[in-house]
Amino acid sequence: KGALSKAGGAFKKIPGLTKMAALGPLGAITSAATLLFKQLMQVSDTIADLSKSTGLVGKQLKVVFKEVKAGAAGMHAFGMGLKEAGAQASALIDSLGNANKVTGKLISVTARVAKAMGGSAQESAALADNLIRGFGKTAPQVEKFAQSIMTFATKSGVNARKVMRDISNDSNLTAIYLSRGEDYMAKTAVMAAKMGKSMADNLSTTDAFLNIDSAMEITAKLNQFFGSNLNALKLHNMAIKQDVIGTHKELNKVFGSSKGIARLEAAPGYAKQLGAEIGLNIKDMRQFGKVMADLEKTAQGPTKEQIKLNKFIEQGMTLLDKLKGMIATVFMPIFNEFGTILHHQIKP
């Protein structure tokens, strides 16, 4: 009786619940009861999972869960809810190492980034950590960064989701490339995708010139075989700076020329052996010129018009998914709030 009395009092505190009346008296009562019970269980499960994964209890747990609810409110339209918001908050706390930095806005942004790139909460949290702690980005700037990268990838004709996952999964290279600006970061990731590689795989070509002795030996072999005039010291300095784009532009003078292609055709066996020393196979060397030309063409094209992050998510949703999202956006925040009140008032 006491629990029912508390539930009744909590019911009155929820604004907008009268919208259920549109279903008719009996329908509203039945639907409301079912949804409320379901949401009470989801609130309880989310709080428990959050506490288990983060070790938070008491007031700290309550503060973080408040942010989880705020984040979930911006996620319902995209087929996500309290459960996903809780998982995202947990991943962010783990990556950032500070629960106080986890806000509803950051939860919503990183959850949508994960959804847009087809990745996990951990991947988007790792990306956010790199951008926030490494470069002082805010939640809106994290969203803008993801939009910029995915827009450039789409306009370049490569899989934007794959590019974003590559960036998210390699925090070291992302930190190095971002220090040169977002444009450099985007070009490097897209170039790797066009080569059919990850950024780490693509870096192996640059790293082949890290040692000055090896750089001189490899450069001499390339110049002798292809009749080129590459500068070993220049390639070595680029490798030290991890300038992947610079290195590839230099090598394109060899592989992107008609003379270079002719040499590949004439002696593929030796070309394959030589390419292995710099992380390239025959296919890589053949497509080198086209990849660099495509990259340059895209970079010179209009890039001001950004594709919104939500657009990448919506394109993968059916009409039914969108309708469900619209309904959830209206009602789920109400039931999340009610479920929270019930959880705190009738728990043992």
Confidence of residue 14 (pLDDT cuts 50, 70, 90): very low
Full DSSP string of 79-104: T--HHHHHHHHHHHHHHHS-GGG--H
How many residues are present in the chain? 348
pLDDT above 80 for 298: no
Give the side-chain half-sphere CA count within 13 A for 64. Answer: 29
pLDDT in tens, 196-219: 999 999 999 999 999 999 999 999
pLDDT in tens, 69-109: 999 998 989 999 999 999 999 999 999 999 999 999 999 99
Q: What is the pLDDT of residue 43?
A: 84
H helix intervals, the chain: 2-13, 25-54, 58-73, 82-96, 104-117, 121-135, 139-155, 160-169, 171-178, 182-194, 199-207, 212-226, 232-240, 244-255, 258-266, 268-276, 282-300, 309-314, 319-346
What CA–CA distance (Å, rounded) separates 192 from 184?
12
Query: Token pair 């939860």 is at which residue?
Result: 107
Average pLDDT over residues 238-264: 93
Q: Could you tell me if 129 and 98 are in contact, meaning their C-beta atoms sit under 8 angstroms apart?
A: no
Q: What is the pLDDT of residue 42?
A: 82
Q: What is this structure's pTM?
A: 0.79
For residue 298, give the nearest of 199, 150, 149, 155 by alpha carbon: 155
Residues 6+ away with beta carbon under 8 Å from 154: 160, 307
Taking CA atoms, 284 is separated from 57, 174, 192, 243, 279, in Å, by: 54, 23, 11, 19, 9
For residue 189, give the nearest of 226, 145, 153, 157 by alpha carbon: 153
Confidence of residue 303 (pLDDT cuts 50, 70, 90): low
Confidence of residue 32 (pLDDT cuts 50, 70, 90): low
Full DSSP string of 201-252: HHHHHHHTTSSHHHHHHHHHHHHHHH-----HHHHHHHHHTT-HHHHHHHHH
Between helices 121-135 and 82-96, what is the axis angle to 10°? 40
